[in-house]
Amino acid sequence: MIHTDFDVVIVGLGPVGGTLANLLAMNDLRILILEKEASLYDLPRAVHFDDEIMRVFNTIGIAKSLSKKIIINKGTKFIDKKGEVILDWPRPKIITENGWYPSYRFHQPDLERSLRNKLKKFGKVKILQNTEVHKTINKKEFTTVTYKNTMTGEEFSVKSKYTIGCDGANSFIRNEIKSDMENLGFEQRWAVIDVILKTKKNNLPDRTIQYCNSKRPATYCRNVGNRRRWEIALKDNESLEKFFDKKKLWKFLSKWILPNEAIIERKTVYTFQSAIAKKWRRGRFFLVGDAAHLTPPFMGQGMCAGIRDASNLAWKISICCKKGHNEKLLNSYQSERSSNVRNYINTAMKMGELLNSIGGIKVSDTVYIKPDGSIKMNTIKPKLGRGLGNNSDINRGKIFPSLKDEFNRDIDNLFSSEPILITNNKIDKNQIKIKVLDYLDIPDLDVLLQKFGTDSLIVRPDRFILAGTKSNDLKKFCDNHINIIYGSKV
């Protein structure tokens, strides 16, 4: 047996790396996190996450504290040059199947502090900042990562069972995997201006507004507290120095605010891109988040997509660390996630085309016309791509809703590491190799299962359904599907 210093090395401690580390730490794994920055970046970057992501945060145990620092997002309107709404994407203030509101606004430093504070509670997690990875070895049974302390120049090497790159768009680990990016066709430079209001501005919109314009499309975001954001498309070869000239910038912002009403907290330029890595895994190396895919920001799904990656991969890595390496289980990571994220990216690209006034309002299959003639859009919820389970099973890959048990406890907490069987049948639970919840544990379970058209479901730790059945032979059903996850190790 090969000795490893850690179960997992994570490169990068942004929101995605922090989420992944917490999910792995909950499974009692030995984790080393390598972060190149000296400290947490204290200015705004990502500003949105949805109900699915809040459910992940709840699993980690930070949702309650985070709730005090976020606001509910009311949705997005696309407006033409005349100021008329051409597409409305409302986010109703109702609790979704995931147990949370559909959409939230947040301040990224608040989230990162919550994630890091939670990591401090795990004795087997080690965080090293001022560290730069510059060499890796990817063996059949282990990985080696060599890094140096950028302050002292000292160099170290560690062995781990797996190495995961959460190191962003310019990922070092992606280069080590030798994975090219598939360009999906969207690339545009946008200026991003974050401000803090000094006075109350009741005339500013209380939701996101997309200003569609072929010459100068722009986005306005209502963010947490007194923070507001404008994103403005830059013209080809437009000089950043001239655009960010104080007088010119305030002239543009004067449509909404005046210099005496706000201070500019941050101004920068992003190149919004759409791309997916062709390989998310090589051997025991994996890519997560921006290292694996890039999306334009018009759906607010960049960080969300990375956290979905983390949720999908964490339980699979945890099982492999505890039960032994399982190729089939790990190979399902990219196949399940890539088509899901591609759906979000394609929709965001179509939104970008609408913003640039070169595309139509049919940005997704969820767009519909109301009787009053208004055009609205529902949130997309793509299933998982092909992977674990039988792809002909109509329930496979769907989200399983957040539920309470007979004691009003969130049942998510009962299966954060292992799959679970939820059934309306009477069975001998001792015959089943995984935890079982039945009609005695969950109120109105029969009503829920009727919606899925089945009597029993196996639900994965990432809250997606692995399989459903009406068979009474639940031992055989479970054995077949559990062997997919554990191989012959159970």
Query: What 8-state DSSP symbol labels residue 344?
Result: H
Distance CA 375, CA 390 (A): 37
pLDDT, residue 4, reads 86
pLDDT, residue 1, reads 58
pLDDT along the chain (490 residues), means of 10: 89 98 97 96 96 97 96 97 96 95 98 98 98 96 97 96 97 97 97 94 92 96 97 92 92 93 95 98 98 97 98 97 94 97 98 95 95 94 94 94 86 86 91 90 92 96 96 91 72
Residue 156 contacts residue 148 (beta carbons within 8 Å): yes
Q: Which residue has the tokens 């989230």?
A: 111
Distance CA 127, CA 274 (A): 31
Phi, psi angles (nearest 5°) of residue 282:
-140, 115
**411-486 belongs to which CATH class?**
alpha beta
pLDDT, residue 313, reads 98
pTM: 0.96
pLDDT, residue 415, reads 81
pLDDT, residue 489, reads 45
Distance CA 382, CA 336 (A): 11
Give the pairing type, strands 181-197 and 155-165: unpaired
Distance CA 1, CA 18 (A): 30
Residue 124 contacts residue 31 (beta carbons within 8 Å): yes
CATH number of 6-69+104-181+275-335: 3.50.50.60
* Domain ranges across the chain: 6-69+104-181+275-335, 411-486
pLDDT, residue 3, reads 80
pLDDT, residue 390, reads 92
Distance CA 231, CA 190 (A): 6
Residue 55 contacts residue 344 (beta carbons within 8 Å): no
pLDDT, residue 413, reads 84
Distance CA 256, CA 199 (A): 13
Taking each helix axis from N to C end, the angle separating 302-323 and 474-486, rounded to the nearest 10 degrees, works out to: 100
